[in-house]
C-alpha cells in the first residue's frame, strides 16, 4: 500500500507552504496545491515542492473549451505534477481532451502521465442548487452520471466526498482512483466539514487517496499528526526512521497528570487527546 495522505497546503504564503512541505515530505504521499497557493506562488511553488521529492496534486478544477483545457493540462504535465483536476461538467470532449493531453505530453518522455481526476458535484451544492440549474434527480444521481461520463471519456480517477466512496467503488469497480477530502481523524474537530470519515474508515470504504488539510496544517506538531494518521491506517505505512518509541498503555497525562489508558495508535505515536484537560498531548516531548 502506498502512503495515501495528500496534505492540502492551504496556507497564506508560498514560503509557509514550502517550509511545512520540507518538514512533512518524508511522511506524506503528496501535497495538494489549490487555487489560493497557485495564484500566490505560481509554477515556482510547484517546482519547489517537487524539489522536496514529494508528489504534487495541482487542484485547479479546470473547466473550459477542450483545446484550452488540453493546453493547460500539457503545461501542468511539463511542470511535473502527478495529479490534477478538471470539472466533469465540461462534458465528454473536454474530459477526453484532458486525458489525451496528459498522455501525449508524457509519451515522448516515456514518463508516467499525471492522473487527471474529474470533480463531479461540488459538496457545496445540494439538490436545490442542482434544481436551480435545471438538473433534477438530486446530487447522488448526478454524481454517478458525471462519474460514468468521466471514466467513459478515459479518465482514471475522481474526486469524491466520503459519502460517495462506497457507491462509486461499487458502480465503477476497483480500477478507478478515488481521492477524498472531508477526512477527520477521530480526535480532530470537524471544522466546516459536515459529513466526515476517519482516515481508516475512508480507506476501508475504498478511497485510494485522502486529502487532509487542517488536521495536519493546524496541528501543534504537523509531522507527529501525520505519523499518527498513517499509523491509524496501517502502522507499516510509517517510514522506519520516523517511528517514535512506543509509550506504555497506561500513562499519566503529560499536561494534567491524570491517569489515562491509551489505544494502540496513541501508544505507538506518543500522541493522545486527554479528556480531563481537553488538550492534544505529545507525550514524548511533554
Which residues bind to ligand C5P, rule: CB under 6 A?
Answer: 8, 10, 34, 122-123, 161, 181-182, 191, 193, 211-214
Cell 517511528 -> residue: 243
Burial of 26 (0-12, 13-18, 19+ CB in 10 A): middle
In the bound state with ligand C5P, the residue whose beta carbon lies nearer, of 148 and 214, is 214
Residues 6+ away with beta carbon under 8 Å from 192: none
| Least distance CB 100 / ligand C5P (angstroms) | 25
Beta partners for residue 30, in sequence order:
6, 55
In the bound state with ligand C5P, the residue whose beta carbon lies nearer, of 65 and 190, is 190
Burial of 167 (0-12, 13-18, 19+ CB in 10 A): middle
Has 19 been annotated as catalytic? Answer: no
Active-site annotation holder among 61, 166, 223, 279: 61
Cell 466546516 -> residue: 192
| Least distance CB 121 / ligand C5P (angstroms) | 9
| Least distance CB 163 / ligand C5P (angstroms) | 11
Q: How far apart (Å, rounded) are the C-alpha atoms in residues 70 and 119?
A: 16
In the bound state with ligand C5P, the residue whose beta carbon lies nearer, of 63 and 243, is 63
| Least distance CB 159 / ligand C5P (angstroms) | 6
In the bound state with ligand C5P, the residue whose beta carbon lies nearer, of 96 and 205, is 205
Which sequence positions are flagged as catalytic?
61
Amino acid at each position: 500500500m502506498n502512503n495515501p495522505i495528500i496534505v492540502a497546503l492551504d496556507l497564506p504564503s508560498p514560503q509557509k507552504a514550502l517550509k511545512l512541505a520540507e518538514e512533512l515530505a518524508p511522511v506524506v504521499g503528496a501535497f495538494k496545491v489549490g487555487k489560493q497557493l497557485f495564484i500566490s506562488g505560481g509554477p515556482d511553488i510547484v517546482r519547489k515542492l517537487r524539489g522536496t521529492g514529494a508528489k504534487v496534486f495541482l487542484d485547479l478544477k479546470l473547466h473550459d473549451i477542450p483545446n484550452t483545457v488540453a493546453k493547460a493540462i500539457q503545461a501542468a504535465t511539463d511542470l511535473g505534477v502527478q495529479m490534477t483536476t478538471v470539472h466533469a461538467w465540461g462534458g465528454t470532449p473536454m474530459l477526453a481532451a484532458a486525458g489525451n493531453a496528459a498522455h501525449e505530453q508524457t509519451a515522448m518522455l516515456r514518463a508516467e502521465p499525471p492522473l487527471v481526476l474529474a470533480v463531479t458535484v461540488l459538496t457545496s451544492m445540494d439538490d436545490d442548487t442542482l434544481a436551480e440549474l435545471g438538473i433534477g434527480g438530486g446530487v447522488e444521481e448526478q454524481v454517478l452520471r458525471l462519474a460514468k461520463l468521466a471514466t467513459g471519456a478515459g479518465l482514471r480517477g475522481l474526486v469524491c466526498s466520503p459519502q460517495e466512496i462506497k457507491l462509486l467503488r461499487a458502480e465503477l469497480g476497483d480500477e478507478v482512483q478515488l481521492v477524498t477530502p472531508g477526512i477527520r481523524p477521530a480526535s480532530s474537530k470537524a471544522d466546516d466539514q459536515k459529513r466526515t470519515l476517519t482516515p481508516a474508515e475512508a480507506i476501508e470504504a475504498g478511497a485510494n487517496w485522502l486529502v487532509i488539510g487542517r488536521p495536519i496544517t493546524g496541528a501543534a506538531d504537523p509531522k507527529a499528526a501525520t505519523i499518527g494518521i498513517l499509523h491509524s491506517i496501517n502502522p507499516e505505512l510509517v517510514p522506519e526512521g520516523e517511528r517514535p518509541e512506543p509509550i506504555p498503555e497506561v500513562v499519566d497525562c503529560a499536561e494534567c497528570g491524570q491517569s489515562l489508558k491509551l489505544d494502540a495508535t496513541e501508544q505507538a505515536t506518543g500522541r493522545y487527546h486527554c479528556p480531563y484537560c481537553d488538550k492534544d498531548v505529545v507525550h514524548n516531548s511533554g
